[in-house]
Amino acid sequence: MRVAILECDKVAEKFQSQFGQYSEMIRHMFATTGSTFDFDVYNCQQGDYPPNLDRYDFFITTGSRAAAYAHETWIRQLIKFVHLLDDKRKILIGICFGHQVMAMACGGQVEKSDKGWGIGIARNRIVASPDWISEKRDELNTIVSHQDQIVQLPDDALVIAESDFCPYFIVQWNDHFLSIQGHPEWNGDYSRALINDRRDTIPRQRVEAGLDSLATQPDNPLFTNWILDFVRNRQQSN
Protein backbone atom coordinates (compact mmCIF):
# COMPACT_ATOMS: atom_id res chain seq x y z
CA MET A 1 0.00 0.00 0.00
CA ARG A 2 1.09 3.57 -0.65
CA VAL A 3 0.25 5.98 2.16
CA ALA A 4 0.39 9.78 2.42
CA ILE A 5 1.24 10.98 5.93
CA LEU A 6 -0.15 14.45 6.58
CA GLU A 7 2.36 15.74 9.14
CA CYS A 8 0.76 18.42 11.32
CA ASP A 9 3.55 19.04 13.86
CA LYS A 10 7.10 18.19 14.85
CA VAL A 11 8.28 16.36 17.95
CA ALA A 12 9.96 18.78 20.37
CA GLU A 13 13.67 18.97 19.56
CA LYS A 14 14.76 17.63 22.94
CA PHE A 15 12.85 14.38 22.27
CA GLN A 16 13.70 13.86 18.60
CA SER A 17 16.91 11.87 19.07
CA GLN A 18 15.14 9.30 21.24
CA PHE A 19 11.71 9.13 19.64
CA GLY A 20 12.04 10.54 16.12
CA GLN A 21 9.30 12.48 14.34
CA TYR A 22 5.57 11.72 14.38
CA SER A 23 5.71 10.45 10.82
CA GLU A 24 8.35 7.91 11.92
CA MET A 25 6.07 6.75 14.73
CA ILE A 26 3.32 6.12 12.18
CA ARG A 27 5.73 4.16 9.98
CA HIS A 28 6.67 2.02 12.98
CA MET A 29 3.00 1.49 13.88
CA PHE A 30 2.28 -0.03 10.49
CA ALA A 31 5.54 -2.00 10.44
CA THR A 32 4.07 -4.27 13.13
CA THR A 33 1.31 -5.50 10.76
CA GLY A 34 3.55 -7.53 8.48
CA SER A 35 2.15 -5.75 5.41
CA THR A 36 4.27 -3.71 3.00
CA PHE A 37 3.87 0.06 2.86
CA ASP A 38 5.41 2.94 0.94
CA PHE A 39 5.09 6.27 2.74
CA ASP A 40 5.31 9.84 1.54
CA VAL A 41 5.33 12.63 4.14
CA TYR A 42 3.73 16.05 3.55
CA ASN A 43 4.32 18.98 5.90
CA CYS A 44 0.89 20.55 6.27
CA GLN A 45 2.21 23.43 8.39
CA GLN A 46 4.24 24.45 5.34
CA GLY A 47 1.30 24.04 2.97
CA ASP A 48 2.73 20.86 1.44
CA TYR A 49 0.11 18.47 0.02
CA PRO A 50 0.02 15.52 -2.39
CA PRO A 51 -0.33 16.69 -5.99
CA ASN A 52 -1.86 13.37 -7.10
CA LEU A 53 -4.53 11.96 -4.79
CA ASP A 54 -5.00 8.83 -6.88
CA ARG A 55 -1.46 7.71 -6.09
CA TYR A 56 -2.40 6.72 -2.52
CA ASP A 57 -4.39 3.91 -0.97
CA PHE A 58 -5.11 6.12 2.03
CA PHE A 59 -4.12 9.27 3.88
CA ILE A 60 -3.36 9.60 7.60
CA THR A 61 -2.74 12.61 9.82
CA THR A 62 -0.36 13.00 12.72
CA GLY A 63 -1.32 14.77 15.92
CA SER A 64 -0.45 18.39 16.68
CA ARG A 65 -0.21 20.81 19.57
CA ALA A 66 -2.37 23.20 17.53
CA ALA A 67 -6.11 23.68 18.00
CA ALA A 68 -8.33 22.51 15.15
CA TYR A 69 -10.58 25.55 15.70
CA ALA A 70 -7.71 28.08 15.57
CA HIS A 71 -7.87 30.66 12.79
CA GLU A 72 -4.47 29.81 11.39
CA THR A 73 -3.92 29.73 7.65
CA TRP A 74 -2.40 26.27 7.55
CA ILE A 75 -5.25 24.79 9.61
CA ARG A 76 -7.86 26.37 7.33
CA GLN A 77 -5.94 24.93 4.38
CA LEU A 78 -5.88 21.50 6.00
CA ILE A 79 -9.65 21.60 6.54
CA LYS A 80 -10.08 22.49 2.86
CA PHE A 81 -7.91 19.50 1.93
CA VAL A 82 -10.09 17.25 4.10
CA HIS A 83 -13.10 18.57 2.17
CA LEU A 84 -11.31 17.67 -1.06
CA LEU A 85 -10.59 14.13 0.15
CA ASP A 86 -14.25 13.81 1.11
CA ASP A 87 -15.42 15.06 -2.29
CA LYS A 88 -13.11 12.56 -4.01
CA ARG A 89 -14.15 9.81 -1.55
CA LYS A 90 -10.55 9.13 -0.56
CA ILE A 91 -9.76 7.21 2.63
CA LEU A 92 -8.57 9.39 5.51
CA ILE A 93 -7.50 8.24 8.98
CA GLY A 94 -7.34 10.98 11.60
CA ILE A 95 -5.22 10.82 14.75
CA CYS A 96 -5.88 13.20 17.68
CA PHE A 97 -5.63 16.66 16.08
CA GLY A 98 -6.61 15.04 12.78
CA HIS A 99 -9.66 13.55 14.50
CA GLN A 100 -10.68 17.05 15.52
CA VAL A 101 -9.93 18.57 12.10
CA MET A 102 -12.18 15.96 10.53
CA ALA A 103 -14.91 17.02 12.94
CA MET A 104 -14.49 20.66 11.88
CA ALA A 105 -14.62 19.65 8.21
CA CYS A 106 -17.64 17.38 8.63
CA GLY A 107 -19.87 19.78 10.52
CA GLY A 108 -18.93 18.91 14.10
CA GLN A 109 -17.64 21.16 16.86
CA VAL A 110 -14.39 21.12 18.85
CA GLU A 111 -13.63 22.94 22.10
CA LYS A 112 -11.11 22.99 24.93
CA SER A 113 -12.70 20.62 27.42
CA ASP A 114 -13.59 21.73 30.93
CA LYS A 115 -12.56 18.20 31.99
CA GLY A 116 -8.92 19.19 31.62
CA TRP A 117 -6.04 17.11 30.30
CA GLY A 118 -6.44 13.58 29.07
CA ILE A 119 -3.04 11.87 29.49
CA GLY A 120 -1.66 8.36 29.82
CA ILE A 121 -3.82 5.39 28.89
CA ALA A 122 -7.50 6.03 28.19
CA ARG A 123 -9.90 3.11 28.62
CA ASN A 124 -12.75 3.25 26.15
CA ARG A 125 -15.93 1.24 25.71
CA ILE A 126 -16.63 -0.14 22.25
CA VAL A 127 -20.23 0.85 21.56
CA ALA A 128 -20.47 -0.06 17.86
CA SER A 129 -18.78 -2.83 15.86
CA PRO A 130 -19.24 -2.22 12.12
CA ASP A 131 -18.99 -5.25 9.85
CA TRP A 132 -15.55 -4.19 8.60
CA ILE A 133 -13.97 -4.81 12.05
CA SER A 134 -12.45 -8.30 11.97
CA GLU A 135 -11.44 -8.56 15.64
CA LYS A 136 -14.27 -7.49 17.93
CA ARG A 137 -13.52 -6.16 21.42
CA ASP A 138 -15.51 -4.65 24.29
CA GLU A 139 -12.78 -2.17 25.25
CA LEU A 140 -9.89 -0.30 23.64
CA ASN A 141 -6.99 1.11 25.66
CA THR A 142 -5.02 3.84 23.91
CA ILE A 143 -2.48 6.50 24.87
CA VAL A 144 -3.89 10.03 24.87
CA SER A 145 -2.57 13.57 25.23
CA HIS A 146 -5.15 16.28 24.70
CA GLN A 147 -7.16 19.12 26.18
CA ASP A 148 -9.43 19.75 23.19
CA GLN A 149 -12.31 17.43 22.43
CA ILE A 150 -15.10 17.00 19.90
CA VAL A 151 -18.27 18.19 21.61
CA GLN A 152 -20.76 17.86 18.75
CA LEU A 153 -21.10 15.44 15.83
CA PRO A 154 -23.11 15.55 12.63
CA ASP A 155 -26.14 13.26 12.69
CA ASP A 156 -24.67 10.68 10.31
CA ALA A 157 -21.43 10.07 12.25
CA LEU A 158 -21.03 6.71 14.00
CA VAL A 159 -19.37 6.59 17.43
CA ILE A 160 -17.38 3.36 17.74
CA ALA A 161 -15.66 3.98 21.09
CA GLU A 162 -16.40 6.27 24.01
CA SER A 163 -15.61 6.99 27.65
CA ASP A 164 -17.10 9.23 30.31
CA PHE A 165 -14.14 11.56 29.80
CA CYS A 166 -14.26 11.53 25.99
CA PRO A 167 -17.68 10.63 24.51
CA TYR A 168 -16.49 10.70 20.88
CA PHE A 169 -13.24 8.76 21.03
CA ILE A 170 -13.40 6.77 17.78
CA VAL A 171 -15.69 8.01 15.03
CA GLN A 172 -16.56 6.70 11.59
CA TRP A 173 -17.73 9.70 9.61
CA ASN A 174 -18.77 7.91 6.42
CA ASP A 175 -17.49 4.94 4.40
CA HIS A 176 -14.06 6.54 3.85
CA PHE A 177 -13.26 8.64 6.98
CA LEU A 178 -12.23 7.10 10.33
CA SER A 179 -10.60 8.86 13.27
CA ILE A 180 -9.44 8.43 16.86
CA GLN A 181 -8.77 10.90 19.67
CA GLY A 182 -5.91 8.76 20.94
CA HIS A 183 -2.38 8.06 19.74
CA PRO A 184 -2.05 4.45 18.54
CA GLU A 185 1.36 5.39 17.09
CA TRP A 186 2.88 6.42 20.46
CA ASN A 187 4.59 4.15 22.96
CA GLY A 188 4.55 4.41 26.74
CA ASP A 189 8.06 5.85 26.97
CA TYR A 190 7.16 8.84 24.79
CA SER A 191 3.94 9.45 26.71
CA ARG A 192 5.86 9.27 30.01
CA ALA A 193 8.45 11.75 28.77
CA LEU A 194 5.76 14.23 27.71
CA ILE A 195 3.83 13.92 30.95
CA ASN A 196 6.93 14.54 33.05
CA ASP A 197 7.86 17.49 30.84
CA ARG A 198 4.45 19.08 31.46
CA ARG A 199 4.37 18.80 35.25
CA ASP A 200 4.23 22.59 35.51
CA THR A 201 1.05 22.80 33.41
CA ILE A 202 -0.92 19.69 34.42
CA PRO A 203 -2.31 19.20 37.95
CA ARG A 204 -0.17 16.89 40.07
CA GLN A 205 -2.90 14.32 40.71
CA ARG A 206 -3.64 14.08 37.00
CA VAL A 207 0.08 13.64 36.28
CA GLU A 208 0.46 10.81 38.77
CA ALA A 209 -2.69 9.07 37.57
CA GLY A 210 -1.51 9.37 33.97
CA LEU A 211 1.90 7.92 34.78
CA ASP A 212 0.33 5.06 36.75
CA SER A 213 -1.99 4.25 33.86
CA LEU A 214 0.98 3.55 31.59
CA ALA A 215 1.39 0.19 33.33
CA THR A 216 -1.46 -0.93 31.02
CA GLN A 217 -0.36 -2.11 27.60
CA PRO A 218 -1.97 0.04 24.88
CA ASP A 219 -3.98 -1.67 22.17
CA ASN A 220 -1.90 -0.18 19.36
CA PRO A 221 -1.75 -3.36 17.21
CA LEU A 222 -5.51 -3.82 17.51
CA PHE A 223 -6.37 -0.34 16.27
CA THR A 224 -3.72 -0.52 13.55
CA ASN A 225 -5.39 -3.67 12.26
CA TRP A 226 -8.74 -1.88 12.43
CA ILE A 227 -7.30 0.79 10.15
CA LEU A 228 -6.32 -1.88 7.63
CA ASP A 229 -9.74 -3.53 7.98
CA PHE A 230 -11.36 -0.19 7.20
CA VAL A 231 -9.10 0.50 4.22
CA ARG A 232 -9.55 -2.95 2.69
CA ASN A 233 -13.29 -2.89 3.17
CA ARG A 234 -13.49 0.44 1.36
CA GLN A 235 -11.26 -0.80 -1.46
CA GLN A 236 -13.34 -3.95 -1.92
CA SER A 237 -16.55 -1.93 -2.12
CA ASN A 238 -15.23 0.21 -4.99
What are the extents of the domains in the chain? 2-237
Instruction: Report the alpha-carbon distance of residue 90 to residue 175 in Å, rounded.
Output: 10
CA 234 to chain CA centroid, nearest Å: 19
In the prediction, which pLDDT does 32 show?
A: 86
**What per-residue confidence (pLDDT) applies to 24?**
97
96 has catalytic annotation: yes
pLDDT score for 153: 97
State the catalytic residue, choosing from 7, 162, 176, 185.
185
Which of 8, 44, 96, 166 is labelled catalytic? 96
Q: Which residues of the chain carry a pLDDT beneath 50? A: none
**How far apart are the C-alpha atoms of 61 and 130, rounded to whole Å?**
22
Q: What is the pLDDT of residue 125?
A: 98
Averaged confidence pLDDT in the chain: 97
pLDDT tens sequence across 71-121: 999 999 999 999 999 999 999 999 999 999 999 999 999 999 999 999 999
Topology (CATH) of 2-237? Rossmann fold (3.40.50)
The secondary structure element, H or E, covering residue 144 is strand 139-146
Q: Which residues of 51-79 are buried (b: 16+ CB within 10 A; e: fewer)?
A: eeeeebbbbbbbbbebbbbeeeebbeebb
Q: Nearest Cα to 115, choosing from 79, 168, 155?
A: 168
